[in-house]
């Protein structure tokens, strides 16, 4: 039964082109990081050269710039893409009326939710892997790095951060009455996460701290490990999934 549900989710991602779009966006931003790192200084130099009296001195671009740009994309733009892709996951089925016939079968609500989340998470992982491979390949072409081990760990942590955005959107999609409401709620939850991450002390435990750690790992300067943030992140993942299940279990369809 679980296999049928997961197969349906993946097939849906494929047929509705959500998988393609998500992968294309991640690949685009993956490619954009090394290209931007390479071209931005040259562009600035050219602008400066057209302005009389201005002399611009910039350090030569490096793999560290790629990592910085990559992390910036992962923290600012890609969460929004994940949110848009996942906000209708559960509530969309309610709105379209496809749920009653599925849940009238001997299917537990937990299995239904689990398969749905797994389908989304697998799609996200695939898109992230493709985006990371694109970024790494172009970084090798344009620069010398970054170092592979650190880059992999960086993506693992950044992936966890995006998974938090996904799970919060999933929770919002389970409790909201419409896809639009789910989007608004998910955005609000993400905003709370960002605000908490910016606060002194508390921010240290926020999943956003994972991105700082990821950036340091990508640049080959691991620094202090952020175990607290990692623990809180895993806690949020578990709590949001359990919350979604508890809410969905009692919903009347």
Partner 1 sequence: MTGLAIECRGLTKRYGTVLALDGLNLEVPRQVVFGFLGPNGAGKTTTMKILAGLIAPSAGEARIAGRRVSREDPAARRSVDYLPEEPAFYGWMTPREYLMFVGGLLGLSGPEARRRADELLELVDLRDAARRRIGGFSRGMRQRLGIAQALVGRPEVLLLDEPSSALDPLGRRDVLALIERLADETTVFMSTHILADVERVCQQVAIIAEGRLLAQAGKEELRQRYAAPVFEIETAGEAPGLAEHLRSLPWTERVVQEGNLLRLMARDAFRAREELPAILAAQGGNLLRYEQALPTLEDVFVRLLEA
Choices 33-41, 79-87, 104-112, 131-139; region in contact with partner 1 by CB under 8 A: 104-112
Contact assessment for residue 226 and residue 212, using Cβ atoms and an 8 Å cutoff: yes
Which one-letter DSSP state was computed for residue 204?
Answer: G
Q: Is residue 5 close enough to count as binding partner 1 by CB under 8 A? A: yes
Cα-flanking dihedrals φ and ψ of residue 98, to 5°? -85, -15
The full length of the chain comes to 253
* Residue 100 or 223 having the CB closest to partner 1: 100
Chosen residue from 54, 97, 144, 227 binding partner 1 by CB under 8 A: 97
Residues 134-193 that bind partner 1 (CB under 8 A): none
Q: Give the DSSP letter string of 144-203.
A: S---HHHHHHHHHHHHHHHHHHHHHHHHHHHH-SSHHHHHHHHHHHHHHHHHHHHSTTGG
Note whether 107 binds partner 1 by CB under 8 A.
yes
Which C-beta is closer to partner 1: that of 105 or that of 201?
105
* Stretch binding partner 1 (CB under 8 A), from 19-27, 94-102, 200-208, 213-221: 94-102
Minimum gap (Å) between residue 212 Cβ and partner 1: 41
Q: For partner 1, which is the closer residue by CB, 106 or 200?
A: 106
Contact present, 241 and 117 (Cβ < 8 Å): yes
Is residue 92 part of the contact set for partner 1 (CB under 8 A)?
no
Query: Binding of partner 1 at residue 96 (CB under 8 A)?
Result: yes
Helix and strand counts by DSSP (H, E) for the chain? 11, 0
Please enumerate in sequence order all residues whose Cβ is within 8 A of that of 9, keeping only pairs 6 or more positions apart, or say none.
115, 116, 118, 119, 120
Our finding on whether 49 is near partner 1 (CB under 8 A) is no
Using rule CB under 8 A, residue 16 touches partner 1:
yes
Asked if residue 253 binds partner 1 (CB under 8 A), the reply is: yes
Here the tokens at position 180 are 């639009």
The nearest distance, CB 113 to partner 1, in angstroms, is: 13
Q: How far is the CB of 118 from partner 1 (least distance, A)?
A: 15
| CB burial readout 60-89, b (16+ within 10 A) else e | ebbbbbbbbbbbebbbeebbebbbbbbbbb
User: Of 51, 104, 200, 201, which one interacts with partner 1 (CB under 8 A)?
Assistant: 104
As given in the structure block, the two tokens for residue 188 are 């609000």
Q: Given candidates 44, 58, 102, 199, which one binds partner 1 under the rule CB under 8 A? A: 102
Instruction: Catalog residues that contact partner 1 under the rule CB under 8 A.
Output: 1, 3-5, 7-8, 11-12, 15-16, 96-98, 100-108, 249, 252-253
């Amino acid at each position: 039964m679980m296999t049928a549900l997961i197969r349906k989710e993946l097939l849906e991602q494929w047929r509705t082109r959500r998988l393609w779009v998500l992968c294309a966006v991640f690949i685009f931003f993956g490619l954009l990081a090394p290209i931007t790192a390479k071209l931005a200084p040259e562009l600035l130099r050219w602008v400066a050269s057209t302005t009389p009296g201005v002399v611009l001195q910039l350090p030569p671009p490096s793999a560290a710039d790629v990592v910085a740009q990559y992390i910036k994309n992962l923290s600012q733009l890609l969460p929004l893409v994940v949110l848009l892709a996942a906000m209708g996951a559960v509530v969309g089925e309610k709105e379209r009326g496809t749920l009653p016939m599925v849940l009238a079968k001997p299917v537990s609500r937990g299995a239904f939710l689990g398969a749905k989340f797994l389908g989304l998470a697998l799609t996200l992982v695939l898109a992230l892997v493709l985006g990371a491979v694109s970024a790494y390949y172009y970084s090798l072409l344009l620069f010398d790095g970054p170092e592979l081990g650190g880059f992999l760990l960086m993506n693992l942590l950044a992936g966890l951060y995006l998974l938090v955005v996904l799970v919060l959107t999933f929770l919002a999609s389970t409790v909201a009455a419409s896809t639009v409401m789910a989007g608004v709620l998910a955005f609000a939850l993400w905003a709370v996460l960002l605000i908490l991450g910016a606060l002194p002390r508390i921010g240290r435990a926020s999943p956003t701290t994972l991105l700082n750690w990821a950036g340091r790992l990508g640049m080959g300067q691991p620094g202090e490990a952020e175990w607290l943030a990692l623990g809180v992140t895993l806690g949020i993942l578990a709590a949001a999934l359990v919350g979604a299940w508890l809410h969905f279990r009692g919903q009347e369809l």
